[in-house]
């Protein structure tokens, strides 16, 4: 009886059609007129957005007015690829993760190895002194890098933010960064104000980010009003870099040539804590909670939002048929040296952590350190004609 | 409603904080939008929840080109033109030669009022075409409509088109569901439309949920074609090889009126009013929404010093044979009416017919190395 009442309410609201034969199979037995056609789709949103969940969530919105249709638009518009499963939805604000939990919880579980945010807690640990063996053999490791994102609590995220909010994110962040000193002292380059000379320098340093062209981002509304309130900050030594208002409020990057991941991670943690202290002095804070860790635009970046990686040369190992399995068991992923969705050049790979949520920053960077050291050991063995072993997968995987 | 929720939230920021940076922009919206207008309009929304920021987003995201003046805004529904008239009226005036808020637009789809048009020389005029758009009353427009609305529009369109008979008997091909064979045929016929890639359209939200509820209908003779849910609810096209614009226009008017009848029977007339004529997504298409044109060979005239001036005086525009923003190939141009609002369908097609006839005559003179100076027309 209550199911019929629910149906009747949806019919009155024009969300449910009595004509269930319209378009055949894209309309289920409920006849939802608004339910997206996800028949060709391969992304996490499409896997979990049942008509029942859609019916339950479709007329809810966050306090700022962000809706389910907005959150899933990118996944509807980008069916995905049979081999690559994207997330297929974004958050427009911190409350998205609560209001649309019926959809996001299972997506988070799928994307983050069964992490159940209703029962588990996420550990945050930015004490870089705990990292050990973080210096790589520089005959193999060409560069080391750690990145994460941070969102400013109280302001909507890039898919939903207004121009005023975006400009406020810029103001708050630039203000905080201006307080950094010593090896972290640096300068802000606004995308709308930079000179041609500055732009060329940033391109040469490989720091400049472009207006997003990926439809995954544009369909989510993240390129609106470009380049208003977007910019790049970096320290004078060019080892600590912050992107403002690209895919997240801020992306924080620590990097340097060579294999000193320990120093990279030290600077990363120090810089992040300094920036946090600065914004707190002005009454702001980062979006964080103990279930989901740091809140970012894409559910795939929840938790630590951390990707720690190296560019490493592995000519023999990369040709070994066991390479992929070894990476899997080490909880590492490979990318080309141009970043996500690029191919490797020669035998130099970008190797980084797969996981983001459920383990701390220290744990994940340690995983990368241990894993890369193992890969280098394999490479050295193969050089000497010795055999290598595929490491056991971690417990619970 | 959720959309109004977001606009209410936005109101806690000041107009100055929200006002877009238009310093590098060259489009009609950027020329007209002042902080005063923005402040006056930002608290409003249409009954369906469309706001001034929604109207202008495409113009903010696409600064434009120094030589080409785009409109820089779209309507989300019929009411947009009323609720945001303080912004849209001046844009309409700029785009449509000074059209005033008090002006009335005349609709004339009586093809018998067209004089001539059946004698354009087929040695020069390769093909003739008339297109327009129509919006179905009671639904929001492509920048704003939901999947449910779009599907209902498709359903109503399929039903209406299925009632056509005789020369208009045809078939509907939904984009999501056509066979490879059907797709190849539609491509060969130059009928198939693609997912919009132009940022002018994508930034306005018109490609959302592609290809859901989009499709193409055409009659068996392939001379009457309807696009469903592309840039407008409906785009209606009549075309054929050769220069018989009279016949193309006859078919155009007859088919349109038949389709309108069917929609009216289901209490879904077309959006129209006596000030703006037919209401469409882009303000540039208000009035008749009509572009009547030919592909015509004018290799000599097109390189004549006075070509542009002749076109302007005849109230015509040129495009390449690939349509808007393409170049001409082999001296063949797409020549069509420049006006949409303030003159009727018959007026506009008459201008094309008369103008093209004159230009072909000029081309013939130039072929004989004769002067065309005494043929240059006065400004229409």
Closest partner residue to B61 (CB to CB) among A34, A36, A226 is: A226
Mean pLDDT of B237-261: 96
Residue B265: its pLDDT value, please?
85
The answer on whether B197 is annotated among ligand-binding residues is no
- Whether residue B211 is preceded by a cis peptide bond, meaning omega within 30 degrees of 0, is yes
Least confident of A3-12, B30-39, B117-126, B198-207: A3-12
Digit-coded pLDDT (tens) for A100-114: 999 999 999 999 999
Closest partner residue to A33 (CB to CB) among B9, B21, B148 is: B148
Strand partners, B220: none
Q: What is the ipTM of this complex?
A: 0.88
Rounded CA-CA distance B291/B133 in Å is 10
pLDDT averaged over every residue in chain A: 91
Asked if A64 and B6 touch (Cβ cutoff 8 Å), the reply is yes
Shortest CA distance from A222: residue in chain B: B203
Which DSSP letter does residue A316 get? T
Residue A23: its pLDDT value, please?
36
The more confident residue out of B180 and B323 is B180
- Classified as helix, coil or strand, A204 is helix
Least confident of A214-228, A337-351, B175-189, B312-326: A337-351
Torsion angle defined by CA atoms of residues B221, B224, B229 and B231, in that order, rounded to the nearest 10 degrees: 130
Q: Which residues neighbour A51 within 8 Å (Cβ) at sequence distance 6 or greater?
A: A28, A30, A32, A35
Residue A17: its pLDDT value, please?
53
Asked if A375 and A313 touch (Cβ cutoff 8 Å), the reply is no
Half-sphere exposure of B56 (CA within 13 A, CB side): 29
Torsion angle defined by CA atoms of residues A23, A27, A31 and A32, in that order, rounded to the nearest 10 degrees: -110
- Best mutation target among B3, B5, B63 (most A Cβ atoms within 10 Å) is B5
Mean pLDDT of A156-173: 98
Residue A6: its pLDDT value, please?
56
The answer on whether A396 is annotated among ligand-binding residues is no
Digit-coded pLDDT (tens) for A119-152: 999 999 999 999 999 999 999 999 999 999 999 9
Rounded CA-CA distance B346/B257 in Å is 14
Residue A395 clears pLDDT 90, i.e. is over it = no
pLDDT > 90 in chain B, percent: 84
- Classified as helix, coil or strand, A112 is coil
Q: In Å, how far is A80's CA from the nearest CA of chain B? A: 13
Q: In Å, how far is B180's CA from the nearest CA of chain A? A: 16
pLDDT band at A5 (very low <50, low <70, confident <90, very high): low
The more confident residue out of B321 and A227 is A227
Q: Which residues neighbour B279 within 8 Å (Cβ) at sequence distance 6 or greater?
A: B75, B78, B81, B135, B271, B272, B273, B286
pLDDT averaged over every residue in chain B: 94
- For chain B, what percentages of helix, strand and coil (3-state, to nearest 5) are there? 40, 15, 45
Residue A3 clears pLDDT 70, i.e. is over it = no
Task: Write out chain B residues lying below 8 Å of A35, CB-based.
Answer: 147
Digit-coded pLDDT (tens) for A332-387: 999 987 667 677 678 999 999 999 999 999 999 999 999 999 999 999 999 999 99
Residue B76 clears pLDDT 70, i.e. is over it = yes
Asked if A269 and A257 touch (Cβ cutoff 8 Å), the reply is no
pLDDT band at A59 (very low <50, low <70, confident <90, very high): confident
Rounded CA-CA distance A231/A34 in Å is 38
pLDDT band at A4 (very low <50, low <70, confident <90, very high): low
The answer on whether B138 is annotated among ligand-binding residues is no
Rounded CA-CA distance A303/A53 in Å is 25
Shortest CA distance from B18: residue in chain A: A164
Closest partner residue to B10 (CB to CB) among A14, A162, A192 is: A162
- Best mutation target among A16, A18, A37 (most B Cβ atoms within 10 Å) is A37
Residue A8: its pLDDT value, please?
60
Residue among B229, B210, B266, B261 nearest B149 (CA): B229
Residue B1: its pLDDT value, please?
37
pLDDT band at B176 (very low <50, low <70, confident <90, very high): confident
pLDDT band at A16 (very low <50, low <70, confident <90, very high): low
Rounded CA-CA distance B315/A274 in Å is 65
Closest partner residue to A65 (CB to CB) among B5, B148, B203 is: B5
Asked if B231 and B127 touch (Cβ cutoff 8 Å), the reply is no
Residue A207: its pLDDT value, please?
87
Shortest CA distance from A33: residue in chain B: B148
Shortest CA distance from B145: residue in chain A: A34
Residue window 168-187, chain B: list those with CB within 8 Å of chain A: 176
Is the C-alpha dihedral spanning A365, A359, A243, A266 positive or negative?
A: negative
Is B151 in contact with A22 (Cβ distance < 8 A)?
yes
């Amino acid at each position: 009886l209550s199911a019929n009442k629910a149906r009747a309410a949806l019919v009155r609201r024009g969300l449910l059609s009595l004509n269930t034969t319209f378009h055949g199979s894209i309309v289920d037995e409920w006849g939802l007129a608004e339910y997206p056609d996800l028949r060709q789709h391969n992304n996490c949103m499409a896997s979990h957005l049942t008509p029942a969940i859609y019916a339950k969530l479709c007329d809810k919105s966050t306090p700022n007015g962000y809706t389910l249709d907005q959150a899933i638009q990118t996944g509807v518009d980008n069916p995905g690829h049979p081999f690559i499963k994207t997330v297929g939805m974004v958050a427009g604000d911190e409350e998205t993760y609560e209001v649309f939990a019926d959809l996001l919880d299972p997506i988070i579980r799928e994307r983050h190895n069964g992490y159940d945010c209703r029962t588990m807690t996420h550990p945050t640990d930015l004490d870089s002194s705990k990292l050990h063996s973080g210096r790589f053999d520089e005959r193999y490791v060409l560069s080391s890098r750690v990145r994460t994102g941070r969102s400013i609590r109280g302001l909507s995220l890039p898919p939903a933010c207004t121009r005023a909010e975006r400009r406020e994110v810029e103001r708050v962040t630039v203000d905080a960064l201006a307080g950094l000193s010593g090896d972290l002292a640096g300068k802000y380059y606004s995308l709308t104000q930079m000179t041609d000379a500055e732009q060329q320098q940033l391109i040469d340093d490989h720091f400049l980010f472009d207006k997003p062209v990926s439809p995954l981002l544009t369909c989510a509304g993240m390129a609106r009003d470009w380049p208003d309130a977007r910019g790049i900050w970096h320290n004078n030594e060019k080892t600590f870099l912050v992107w403002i208002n690209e895919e997240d409020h801020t992306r924080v990057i620590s990097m340097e040539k060579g294999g000193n991941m320990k120093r990279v991670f030290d600077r990363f943690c120090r810089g992040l804590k300094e920036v946090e202290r600065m914004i707190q002095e002005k009454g702001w804070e980062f979006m964080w909670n103990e279930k989901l860790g740091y809140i970012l635009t894409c559910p795939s970046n929840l938790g630590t939002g951390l990707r720690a990686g190296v560019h490493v040369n592995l000519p023999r190992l990369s040709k070994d048929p066991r390479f992929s399995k070894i990476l899997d068991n080490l909880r590492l992923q490979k990318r080309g040296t141009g970043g996500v969705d690029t191919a490797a050049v020669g035998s130099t790979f970008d190797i980084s952590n797969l996981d983001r949520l459920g383990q701390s920053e220290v744990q994940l960077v340690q995983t990368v350190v241990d894993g890369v050291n193992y890969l280098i050991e394999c490479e050295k063995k193969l050089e000497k004609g010795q055999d290598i072993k595929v490491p056991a997968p971690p417990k619970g995987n | 409603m959720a959309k109004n929720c977001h606009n209410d939230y936005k109101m806690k920021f000041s107009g100055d904080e929200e006002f877009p940076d238009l310093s590098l922009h060259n489009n009609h919206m950027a020329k007209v939008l002042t902080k005063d207008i923005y402040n006056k309009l930002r608290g409003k929304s249409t009954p369906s929840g469309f706001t001034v920021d929604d109207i202008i987003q495409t113009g903010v995201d696409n600064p434009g080109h120094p030589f080409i003046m785009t409109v820089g805004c779209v309507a989300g529904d019929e009411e947009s033109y009323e609720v945001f008239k303080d912004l849209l009226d001046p844009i309409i005036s700029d785009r449509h030669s000074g059209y005033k808020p008090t002006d009335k637009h005349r609709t004339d789809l009586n093809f018998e009022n067209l004089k001539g048009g059946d004698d354009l020389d087929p040695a020069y005029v390769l093909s003739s075409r008339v297109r327009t758009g129509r919006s179905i009353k009671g639904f929001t427009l492509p920048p704003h409509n939901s999947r449910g609305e779009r599907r209902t529009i498709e359903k109503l369109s399929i039903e209406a088109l299925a009632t056509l008979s005789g020369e208009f008997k045809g078939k509907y091909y939904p984009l999501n569901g056509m066979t490879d064979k059907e797709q190849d045929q539609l491509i060969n016929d130059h009928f198939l439309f693609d997912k919009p890639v132009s940022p002018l359209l994508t930034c306005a939200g018109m490609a959302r949920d592609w290809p859901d509820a989009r499709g193409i209908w055409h009659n068996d003779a392939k001379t009457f074609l309807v696009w469903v849910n592309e840039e407008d609810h409906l785009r209606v096209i009549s075309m054929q090889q050769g220069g018989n614009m009279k016949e193309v226009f006859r078919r155009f008017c007859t088919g349109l009126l038949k389709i309108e009848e069917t929609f009216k029977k289901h209490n879904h007339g077309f959006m129209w009013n006596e000030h703006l004529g037919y209401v469409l997504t882009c303000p540039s298409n208000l009035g008749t929404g009509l572009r009547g044109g030919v592909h015509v060979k004018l290799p000599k005239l097109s390189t004549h010093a006075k070509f542009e001036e002749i076109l302007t005086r005849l109230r015509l525009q040129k495009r390449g044979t690939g349509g808007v923003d393409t170049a001409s190939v082999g001296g063949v141009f797409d020549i069509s009416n420049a006006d949409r609002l303030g003159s009727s369908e018959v007026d506009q097609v008459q201008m094309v017919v008369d103008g093209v006839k004159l230009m072909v005559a000029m081309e013939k003179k130039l072929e004989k190395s004769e002067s065309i100076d005494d043929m240059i027309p006065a400004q229409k």
